[in-house]
Amino acid sequence: MLSPVNRWLLHPATKPAVFLTATLPFAWLIWAAFTDRLGANPAEALIRSLGDWNIRFLVLVLLVTPLRTIAGWPAMARLRRMLGLFVFFYATMHLLAYAWFDQGFNWNEVVADIAKRPFILVGMLAWSMLLLLSLTSFNKAIRWFGARRWQWLHRLVYAVAGLAVLHFFWMRSGKNDFAEVAIYAAIFSALLGWRAIRSLKRRRAAALGRP
């Protein structure tokens, strides 16, 4: 018998509800920008807020598997692709806001800035990985790569998590403000550590011939 949470996750209205909820931070930021509610430096506030939501959705994506297995909510899997695409969406909006407000869409200046500032280089590398993951997130890509190779490719999300924390760390180093960085680093370390332990247990069970 399905639990109430799994029944809700399988409901036809769940995906539209999650989609609308995931767009609310972006809608609020756009409204706040047009109504002058982002403080003394609205451009910086918009860029950083989009980056914050990018990393929050990354946490949600990495939480899907633990919630499926520990909480007993296997129906969470049907939301993973959507949440992953929202990670890419907020990362792209973060990048475009930087290119617009910091560089005026002067792509030569953007390229020069990437070469000069390591935290932007790391951010671009993470975005490039997210682009690859987004382009291969659909069923046709799974069939084309084969399930095993596709799974290996999508483990790049772990590298994205590490790069996101490093990007955040270098960005905050100028103000010597690392409290939020430490929180996200701890969350990602716990989630990736759980996956590593789970993988090790599976290998040991396989070596012993257990199901």
Q: What is the pLDDT of residues 119-161, one digit of tens each?
A: 999 999 999 999 999 999 998 998 999 988 999 999 999 999 9
Per-residue model confidence as pLDDT tens for the chain (211 residues): 778 899 999 999 999 999 999 999 999 999 999 999 998 899 999 999 999 999 999 999 999 999 999 988 999 999 999 999 999 999 999 999 999 999 999 999 999 998 899 999 999 999 999 999 999 999 899 899 998 899 999 999 999 999 999 999 998 887 777 899 999 999 999 999 999 898 888 888 777 765 5
Q: What local confidence, expressed as pLDDT, does residue 83 receive?
A: 97
What would the pLDDT profile of 181-190 be if each residue is shown by its tens digit?
Answer: 999 999 999 9
From CA 85, how far away is CA 165, in angstroms rounded? 19
Provide the residue ranges of all domains of the chain, joining segments of one domain with +. Answer: 4-207
Residue type, 124: M
CB-CB neighbours of 97 under 10 Å:
21
Per-residue tokens: 50: 């989009």
